[in-house]
Amino acid sequence: MIRLQDIKIREDLSEQEVLKKAIAKNHIKLEEIEKWYIYKKSIDARKKEDIHYNYTINIQLKDRKKEAKFTKIEEYKFPKIDIKRKSKTNPVIVGAGPAGLFAGLILIENGIKPIILERGKQVEERIKDIEEFVKTRKINPESNIQFGEGGAGTFSDGKLNTGNTSIYSRKVLEEFVRFGAPEEILYTAKPHIGTDNLVNIVKNMRNYILENGGQIVFQEKVTDIEMEEGKIKAVICSKRIETDVVILAIGHSARDTFKKLYDLDIEMKPKNFAVGVRIEHLQKDINKMQYGENPKLKLPTADYKFVYHANNGRTCYTFCMCPGGKVIASNSEENSIVTNGMSNFARDGENANSALLVNVTVEDYYKNTPLDGMYFQEDLERKAYKLGGQNYNAPIQKVEDFLTNTKTKSLGKVKPTYLPGVTMANLNEILPDYVAETLKEGIINSDKKMHGFYDKDAILTGVETRSSSPVQIIRDKENLQSINVEGLYPCGEGAGYAGGIMTAAVDGIRCAIKVLEKE
């Protein structure tokens, strides 16, 4: 195929009209084309007076000889797997988040039938438990935003963009489309699926795995792992399952499992992570910041991203920005407050929100064990619960009050979206001093890149603590197995090798391939 790049479009056109402009520029006739598709579409909004789309289009010509003067490319093909697995036992996958589901898909597609154990419920039942918490404030520790089919990413914006250059990233996008995602995620520069689409996609993945001989067992928590002479022997849940392979895709909130792995002497180490708050603005204000007053094009709901390196050596940065979304309760334990963000595919809510985080290093919290970062998170979440009134209200504060260390007493134009409720408070009382000071410096300086981001009425909701795992379960770089247990594959976010849906799914694919290639 050939690739036509740098196609600037400054008007609202259909895809067919974009193609016509692209081929006219390159002196190609429509009848000469055998097939074509959009490879990439992005927005260039650096100059507000000249916001435009940039397209890249892949084309195959009927006459291959005419392709000589163009940039040639090879269409993506998933690499061939050298399958050597001979074992009669079923691999066990612990966790049905992106890492676990994609590991299961790869195994199924290559003739191996896994057993997937998920401590939470099917996504349909999980939604009911989340809604029940909002209504009654009664948390189900095994079925919530963190635990259940699809993992924590199911209730997010469904972002699939990543700096990861893995050859498996395209496979992840194609699989999502196969199971119901909009085709545009294959070419948009910042693809997202939205919670409303993810729920159905996860169900479709489940059904495919089951229809092809895999097993998925819900409400089945792994409580122990049997090992013999440094090798996996079995997993223990409500029953004993003999196996020689465990893909450990537990997610970043499986604290009881982390403790069990530590007791089993599975090699792990503490790692850096980040904590902070969710910040909410009016979405129309974010649109204005990014696109100006009167953009000529019909543009998607605007997002943003920034990183600020503070004077104290810390970094303040945005994470998991949710255009037109809402802040959600993401605790998986009683007497704690954890926040996250989510958006539907349309991104049509009144507010924009994003995590606003500050890096926490191992030196900040380490005392005795690799689990000390987890205890640091727990302590901050309990403090937020107490500050919110000990009734699952989240503590909130206007930016203006946060900067002056004053308890918020009234709200301005931005209304908080967090449910089941909020309590006006002073977040400075619970955040570590270095986190609070870095957040303040970051908010003030962000205005240099996005004029208006420093909005006195913007709302901060505390606390965001689970952007990544506080531990890393150490694995061999080549075979991806635990360095001290053969057959154990630490995988995805919980193991410390991913940071979002895309990277978790890619890591699930990588671990499954290693299982297939091992004799």
User: CA–CA separation, 110 vs 289, rounded Å?
Assistant: 48
* Mean pLDDT of the 417-440 span: 98
Do 151 and 97 meet the contact criterion of CB atoms below 8 Å apart?
yes
Q: Which residues pair with 464 in a beta bridge?
A: 276
| pLDDT on residue 93 | 98
CATH topology of domain 92-270+471-517: FAD/NAD(P)-binding domain (3.50.50)
Q: Which residues pair with 93 in a beta bridge?
A: 116, 247
CA nearest to 209, candidates 218, 219, 220: 218
CA nearest to 351, candidates 447, 446, 284: 284
Do 507 and 489 meet the contact criterion of CB atoms below 8 Å apart?
no
| pLDDT on residue 74 | 87
Residue 164 pLDDT greater than 70, yes or no: no
Do 156 and 319 meet the contact criterion of CB atoms below 8 Å apart?
no
Q: Which CATH architecture has domain 2-72?
A: 2-Layer Sandwich (3.30)
Residue 328 pLDDT greater than 80, yes or no: yes
Residue ranges covered by each domain of the chain = 2-72, 92-270+471-517, 273-464
Name the token pair of 352.
């924009």
| pLDDT on residue 283 | 98
| pLDDT on residue 212 | 98
| pLDDT on residue 370 | 97
The reported pTM is 0.96
pLDDT in tens, 266-305: 999 999 999 999 999 999 999 999 999 989 999 999 999 9
| pLDDT on residue 163 | 63
| pLDDT on residue 3 | 94
* Average pLDDT of the residues of the chain: 96
| pLDDT on residue 162 | 65
Q: Which residues pair with 168 in a beta bridge?
A: none
Residue 50 pLDDT greater than 70, yes or no: yes
Do 160 and 191 meet the contact criterion of CB atoms below 8 Å apart?
yes
| pLDDT on residue 71 | 86
Give me the long-range contacts of 483-486 (CB less than 8 A, separation at least 24).
483/267, 484/230, 484/265, 484/266, 484/267, 485/227, 485/230, 485/231, 485/232, 485/266, 486/230, 486/231, 486/232
pLDDT in tens, 458-487: 999 999 999 999 999 999 999 999 999 999
User: CA–CA separation, 359 vs 365, rounded Å?
Assistant: 12
pLDDT in tens, 68-126: 889 889 888 999 999 999 999 999 999 999 999 999 999 999 999 999 999 999 999 99
| pLDDT on residue 166 | 83
